[in-house]
Structure 1
Amino acid sequence: MAFKVEGKIALITGAAAGIGLQYANELLKHGLKGVTIVDFDAKKGAETVQKLNNQYGRKVAIFIQTDVTKTAELKHAFGEANDTWKSLDIVINNAGVMKDSAWEMEVALNCNAVTTGSLLALEYMGKHNGGKGGIVVNIASILGLQELSGCPIYVGTKHFVLGMTRSFGQPYFYNMTGVKFLTMCPGVTNTPLISDASKFALGNFEGLGELLAKELASLPDQEPENVARGMYTLITRGENGSVWVCEGGKPIYEVEIPDRRTLKKN
């Protein structure tokens, strides 16, 4: 059954700029009632909310400054959002970073925060807890579906997101909670995360930053707006547990993950 965005309430992490902001914009264009922008950057967050509210001529967005790696702050953001809108229907755990040189922070943001965001989404939307169900989209990457020498720890974090989200997307959780879990895997997208990536390669490996830049440049790129259009398709059409790829400026498509038992090497 198709999911309708119209009249719904969303919470998006890392949405003060870049792809996260485009997700908010795209959903609002399709009738989203309200969105909570959760981000660490207070200046950009406030500017983004003012711009969105002015653009749509009414209060469609609020901003809550949050370090999503701190569980207490993320819990506060969910609570504040729920108090404001009295509802929550869509959660997009978008905040992430590609900085293998600071891998502990990278893991905290790409793995721990996405886990916390997923559990909080279940707490607020889950039918088992008095909610009405909803949708969680966790942002992995095409690098959650392949290897890449230049950023091995980043690649590992995105494999984590993919595996966790697919597991939450199994019938046991959906039947209990009414919450669908979907995975978005963007390809190379023209944002600072990609343009600055080679500066933050894993240390003590000569030439690794240059290799990462070369590897990323070999992949087809796209603008954030294309990923946002893909997000709308994913939310409205995606089946529970499904994995979608959006790359090269082309329409998003669903991928099929093969059963491991079919992969035995002869």
Structure 2
Amino acid sequence: MNALRVFAHIVLQHGVLRYSSTTSNLGNSVRNKLKVSSKQLAKPQPIDILNNLCHEERLNRHVLTAHHEGVASHAKRRKSKSCGAAIAGKNIIFVAGLGGIGMDTCRQIVKRGPKNLLIFDRLDKPDYITELQKLNPKTKVAFYSYDVTVPLSKSKELLQEVFEKYETIDLLINGAGIMDDHQIEKTIAVNFTGTVNTTTAIMDFWDYRNDGPGGVIANICSVTAFYPNCQVPVYCASKAAVFSFTVSLALLAPVTGVTAYSINHSITRTTLGQNFNSWLDVGPCITEKLSDTPSQSTAQAAKSFVKAIEANKNGAIWKLEQGKLEEVKWTGFN
């Protein structure tokens, strides 16, 4: 409980995690538990502290309980299932898979032979589904009408239907997103809340603690999550929220069996940024400025995306920029 009190005093200041002054009154027991000296408490090592908070005060209770309930056997089974290709022979859900980056990524995915590719989208484009099916007749491509802004209960109903039919899903790609800082509530609902709700819904079927097999989540974020653009601060904040959520999911993997990584595109030539509104109209000419900035095509982004999926690395922060894939080493709290 003491460590949770410590956590309550952690605040974010200028991109650095610091303690508030009252933290020093928590006593030697906290210092011993966190294994840091008084000098370090004045200037903490945030990654070590956060790991201790998670693993010593919360996660270990779940891990120990799960272990006694047979989670070790789940982990062994999950490891055997995940060996080999991350796409071939798998059942994959792609949320918002019919947009620019989404569709090109779906083209790359079906070429690698998944068993089933299920596209959840509010856009009904039968021609796109037909095209994907023709690219690889051995892969079954199916469309499900889905709006990520529906209540969590509706997301659970749809996934219940899917799991009853397909029994297992191996990979969930959360790709819904809009860029319009005039629509603040909708931007947050689509970009962040929708991702959280879809992820929460699938945990009913994946979570080790529910006797699930585990799974993999790829969340589409943006480089603006850590390199914000001041013309669209609402969009950037929503993507930063997804990024933070994804980091937390990865840390929870020992408990839930669900691994996660983030896909962070740099400037990509899509319809998303062609005619968008900046917050309070602070950047009316941003679209023209972006056209002169080095960028990548959706096809280039898709090829990098698939490489990240095949790498299947829990906690990875992938940057997709100008046709290149790079794993970012996060040092934001140092």
Q: Same fold (TM over 0.5)?
A: yes
**Contact 2:206–2:256 at 8 Å: present in 1 too?**
yes
Q: Separation in 1 of the partners of 2:234 and 2:298?
A: 24
CA drift at 1:148: 1.0
**Which amino acid counterpart does residue 242 of structure 1 have in structure 2?**
A
Unpaired runs of at least 5, structure 1: none
Gap change, CA 1:152 and 1:163, over 3 Å in 2: same
SS at 2:88 equivalent: coil
**Which amino acid counterpart does residue 222 of structure 1 have in structure 2?**
Q
**Contact 1:140–1:162 at 8 Å: present in 2 too?**
yes
**Which amino acid counterpart does residue 95 of structure 2 have in structure 1?**
T
* Superposed CA offset, 1:40-87 (max 9, x none): 112x1x332222223322561111111111024432332232233221
Aligned to 2:105: 23
SS at 2:313 equivalent: coil
Aligned to 1:258: 331
CA drift at 1:99: 0.7
Aligned to 1:60: 140
CA drift at 1:136: 0.2
1:107 aligned residue (168, 183, 188) = 188
SS at 2:129 equivalent: helix
Q: Separation in 2 of the partners of 1:47 and 1:81?
A: 22
Aligned to 1:80: 161
SS at 1:146 equivalent: coil
Aligned to 2:262: 183
The residue correspondences of 1:70-219 to structure 2 (distance < 5 A) are 70-71=150-151, 72-170=153-251, 173-197=252-276, 200-203=277-280, 205=281, 208-210=283-285, 212-219=286-293
Q: Does 1:225 align with 2:299?
A: yes
**Contact 2:86–2:312 at 8 Å: present in 1 too?**
no
Of the two, which has the highest radius of gyration? 2
Q: Separation in 1 of the partners of 2:239 and 2:314?
A: 19
Q: Does 1:243 align with 2:317?
A: yes
SS at 2:315 equivalent: coil
SS at 1:252 equivalent: strand
CA drift at 1:166: 0.5
CA drift at 1:8: 0.4
SS at 1:222 equivalent: coil
Q: Separation in 1 of the partners of 2:200 and 2:226?
A: 24
Question: Quick one: percent identity of the two aligned structures?
Answer: 24
**Contact 2:156–2:202 at 8 Å: present in 1 too?**
no
Q: Separation in 1 of the partners of 2:166 and 2:100?
A: 24
Aligned residues: 251
SS at 1:227 equivalent: helix
Q: Separation in 2 of the partners of 1:138 and 1:238?
A: 12
Q: Separation in 1 of the partners of 2:144 and 2:296?
A: 29
**Contact 2:317–2:328 at 8 Å: present in 1 too?**
yes
Q: Separation in 1 of the partners of 2:303 and 2:84?
A: 16
Q: Separation in 2 of the partners of 1:174 and 1:119?
A: 14
* Superposed CA offset, 1:216-244 (max 9, x none): 33542111122222222212224211100
SS at 2:264 equivalent: strand
Gap change, CA 1:34 and 1:209, over 3 Å in 2: same
**Which amino acid counterpart does residue 196 of structure 2 have in structure 1?**
T
Q: Separation in 1 of the partners of 2:292 and 2:329?
A: 24
Q: Separation in 1 of the partners of 2:143 and 2:319?
A: 28
Segments of 4+ moved more than 4 angstroms: none
**Which amino acid counterpart does residue 144 of structure 2 have in structure 1?**
I
Q: Separation in 2 of the partners of 1:36 and 1:237?
A: 21
C-alpha RMSD of the superposition? 1.9
**Contact 1:142–1:187 at 8 Å: present in 2 too?**
yes
**Contact 1:143–1:155 at 8 Å: present in 2 too?**
yes
TM-score normalised per structure 1: 0.87
Aligned to 2:127: 47
